[in-house]
Amino acid sequence: MFTHLEPKDIDELQTINENNMRLYVTPDGLKYPSVTTVLGWKSKAGIIAWRKRVGEEAANKISRQASTRGTKFHYQVEDYINNKDVTFANPAEKSMFTSVQDLINRIDNVHVQEASLYSDFLKTAGRVDCIAEFDGRLSIIDFKTSSRPKEAQYITNYFQQGSAYAVMYEERTGIPIDTIVIIMAVEGNEPQLFIEKRDNYIESYREVRNEYQKVMGI
């Protein structure tokens, strides 16, 4: 059983679509892009190149499969941490979940799950998967799925995302977090665990955010 601490007073943010952009609206009426939007914009050129390389039909199929797989996995992990029964539509889903179960069991003292956060300092918002202790250390914890193993040098955007959430949470609650944990389920392979420090990635995120603001005007 996972222990859930008394939740902090964190506002649920409204989202709007404006000029083809999805924005979060803060309690003060400020409009901020999500951290995933900012980082996705930075990697847009690489995604376009990949789609051209594999073809639009194949790219659309791969993207749909990845999105469906990731969404189901997140719901299953969320239910598990909420001490609910976890259901699976097929053996592949169950295999992917059970592959990371031992890693998830290292989580306890959950602060929040699927909470909307924002930072006036970063001018960014987003929805964090989980903030809890991992091996006894308060961490931003993100759950990912992949069709193949990843190398840390190619997923810096995951660490930048987690670092941004750490700043958002401290700004909202006064509670500092310096550790980013990525738990990744890999189809047909052993799971991967990445543990990084916020301060190694927050400045590079700020650089991307500033560039996004200059180009997009928000």
Assess if residue 25 is contained within a domain. Answer: yes
Tens of pLDDT along 188-202?
899 999 999 999 999
Could you give the C-alpha distances from 189 to 31, 72, 75, 96, 149, in angstroms and in order?
41, 18, 21, 9, 7
Model pTM score? 0.90
Asked, for residue 114, whether it belongs to a domain, the answer is: yes
What's the half-sphere exposure (Cβ side, CA atoms, 13 Å) at 41?
A: 19
CA 192/CA 103 separation, integer angstroms: 9
d(C-alpha 77, C-alpha 179), whole Å: 20
Is residue 192 situated within a structural domain?
A: yes
Domain tally, the chain: 1
Give the CATH number of the domain where residue 98 resides. 3.90.320
In a domain, 195, yes or no: yes
Evaluate whether residue 186 is within a structural domain. Answer: yes
Query: What are the residues whose beta carbons fall under 8 Å from the beta carbon of 126, sequence distance 6 or more?
Result: 24, 34, 35, 36, 116, 117, 118, 161, 164, 165, 168
Query: For each of the chain's 218 residues, which pLDDT tens digit applies?
Result: 999 998 778 889 999 988 878 899 999 999 999 999 999 876 654 444 434 555 656 545 445 555 566 688 999 999 999 999 999 999 989 999 999 999 999 999 999 999 999 999 999 999 999 999 999 999 999 999 998 999 999 999 999 999 999 999 999 999 999 999 999 999 989 999 999 999 999 999 999 999 999 999 88
Which structural domain, as residue segments, surrounds residue 28? 14-216
52 lies in a domain?
A: yes
Q: Is residue 21 part of a domain?
A: yes
Percentage above 90 pLDDT, the chain = 74
